[in-house]
Amino acid sequence: MIVAERKNVPELIDIIKEHKNILVLGCGTCVTVCLAGGEREVSIISSALRIASKVRGLDLKVEELTIERQCDNIFIEQAADAINRNDAVLSLGCGAGVQAIAERYANKPVYAGLNTKFLGILEEHGIWTEKCAACGACVLHEYGGICPVTRCAKHLLNGPCGGSREDRCEVRPDRACAWQLIYQRLKNIGQLERLKKIELPKDWNASLSGGPRVIIREDHRI
Ligand code: SF4
Ligand code: SF4
Domain ranges of the chain: 2-118, 133-206
- Per-residue pLDDT, 222: 79
Question: pLDDT tens digit string along 109-164?
Answer: 999 999 999 999 999 999 999 999 999 999 999 999 999 999 999 999 999 999 99
Q: Count Cα atoms within 13 angstroms, Cβ side, for 48.
A: 16
CB 39 within 8 A of CB 25: no
Q: What is the pLDDT of the chain when averaged over all its residues? A: 96
Q: How far apart are CA 73 and CA 219, in angstroms?
A: 21
pLDDT band at 102 (very low <50, low <70, confident <90, very high): very high
152 Cβ inside 6 Å of ligand 2 = yes
Ligand 2: which of 131, 150, 161 to mutate, most ligand atoms within 8 Å of CB? 161
Look at residue 204 and tell me whether its pLDDT is greater than 90.
no
CB 91 within 8 A of CB 12: no
pLDDT band at 35 (very low <50, low <70, confident <90, very high): very high
DSSP letter for each residue of 56-85: HT---EEEEEEES-TTSHHHHGGGHHHHHT
- Per-residue pLDDT, 45: 98
Q: How far apart are CA 144 and CA 147, in angstroms?
A: 8
pLDDT band at 29 (very low <50, low <70, confident <90, very high): very high
**What's the N-to-C CA distance of the chain in angstroms?**
29
Look at residue 172 and tell me whether its pLDDT is greater than 90.
yes
**Atom in ligand 2 nearest the alpha carbon of residue 178:** 3
**Atom in ligand 2 nearest the alpha carbon of residue 155:** 8
Cα of 191 to ligand 2 centre, how many Å?
20
CB 167 within 8 A of CB 183: no
User: pTM for this structure?
Assistant: 0.92
Smallest-distance ligand from the CA of 179: 2
The CATH code of the domain at 2-118 is 3.40.50.2300
Cα of 158 to ligand 2 centre, how many Å?
11
Amino acid at 186: L
- Per-residue pLDDT, 54: 95
